[in-house]
């Protein structure tokens, strides 16, 4: 940081810039004496748009170039979608703060505003997520899932693509909320239809471990409840070695000092699904995530995920 100017690294996509600007505004409200400036950086994930995420590297695909800029001190902090963050970070970097999470659910955007139960038999739904694909097929096996990639605005436009002939698409609610596009949402999908990805709806602020001043600056917008929820979800994910190459979901909710965690693993076709919940106190959030993962492992979670990986590799 030079001359009280904090440089914040972000991907170049419209959503990434929008959500990074929200963080910059929060920091500016908390620290009147500093100036916050965005630096846009292209990541590998932004360049490869013609292949499913599961085939091009999964987690880390959208963050490496930002982390290099952090390590080279070209930026002071980086903003990531938490669901893109791997369990292990490079040496000398850490997730220092997590702002308050927005709605973690997935949503349906459909032509003619049809709800998921109202879509015709064989309806074509666009998504590039194996987790969403699996759970959609588990909920309605008649659906025809069409793989789509691209930034949030690109995917919304694909709903009108005559060649794709889509009836609906499924996206994360958080991106639409942060873009101010809630009016495009047809239906919020409840967790019993589609359980979100671990960390969905949350942002991670990554800094250098030894940059005490920047760590102090970002600490003012850190949200403890969100941290508890993510500790549980990410512990579950990490134990089962989950990533976007397998259908796996987790969602924690906090009420007072209590936390409830729901976790899910499935095969790609949704025909084999394991789902369970666990409750405890927030101070044991990470341990609860591991315990739930172990419970599902005893019921065959590793075998289900192995089958999913084999199907993905075909």
Which residues in the chain belong to E strands, given as ranges?
5-11, 35-41, 77-81, 93-97, 106-110, 124-126, 144-146, 168-172, 187-189, 203-208, 248-255, 258-266, 273-281
- CA-based angle 245:106:136, to the nearest 5? 65
- What's the chain's Rg over C-alpha atoms? 19
Count how many residues are written for the chain: 314
Does residue 84 carry a catalytic annotation?
Answer: yes
How many angstroms separate the CA atoms of 18 and 219, rounded? 21
Identify the active-site residue in 25, 29, 76, 84: 84
Residues contacting residue 61 through CB under 8 Å, at least 6 positions apart: 43, 44, 45, 48, 53, 84
Q: Which active-site residues does the annotation give? A: 84
């Amino acid at each position: 940081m030079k001359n009280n100017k904090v440089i914040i690294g972000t991907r170049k996509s419209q959503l990434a810039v929008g959500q990074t600007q929200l963080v910059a505004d929060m920091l500016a409200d908390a620290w009147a004496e500093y100036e916050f400036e965005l630096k846009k950086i292209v990541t590998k994930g932004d360049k490869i748009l013609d292949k499913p995420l599961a085939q091009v590297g999964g987690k880390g695909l959208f963050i490496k170039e930002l982390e290099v800029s952090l390590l080279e001190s070209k930026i002071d902090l980086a903003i990531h979608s938490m669901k893109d963050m791997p369990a292990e970070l490079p040496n000398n970097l850490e997730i220092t703060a997590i702002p308050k999470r927005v709605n973690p659910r997935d949503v349906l955007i459909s032509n003619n505003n049809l709800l998921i139960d109202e879509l015709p038999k064989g309806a074509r739904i666009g998504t590039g997520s194996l987790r969403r694909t699996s759970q959609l097929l588990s909920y309605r096996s008649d659906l025809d899932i069409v793989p789509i990639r691209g930034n949030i605005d690109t995917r919304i436009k694909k709903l009108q693509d005559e060649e794709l002939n889509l009836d609906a698409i499924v996206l994360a609610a958080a991106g639409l909320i942060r873009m101010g596009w809630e009016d495009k949402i047809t239906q919020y999908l409840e967790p019993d239809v589609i359980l979100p990805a671990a960390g969905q709806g949350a942002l991670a602020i990554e800094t250098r471990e030894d940059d005490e001043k920047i760590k102090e600056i970002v600490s003012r917008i850190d949200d403890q409840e969100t941290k508890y929820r993510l500790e549980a979800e990410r512990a579950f994910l990490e134990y089962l070695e989950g990533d976007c190459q397998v259908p796996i979901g987790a969602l924690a909710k906090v009420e007072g000092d209590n936390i409830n965690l729901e976790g899910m693993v499935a095969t790609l076709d949704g025909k084999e699904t394991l789902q369970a919940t666990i409750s405890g106190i927030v101070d044991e959030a990470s341990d609860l995530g591991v315990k739930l993962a172990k419970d599902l492992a005893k019921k065959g979670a590793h075998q289900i995920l192995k089958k999913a990986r084999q199907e993905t590799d075909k």
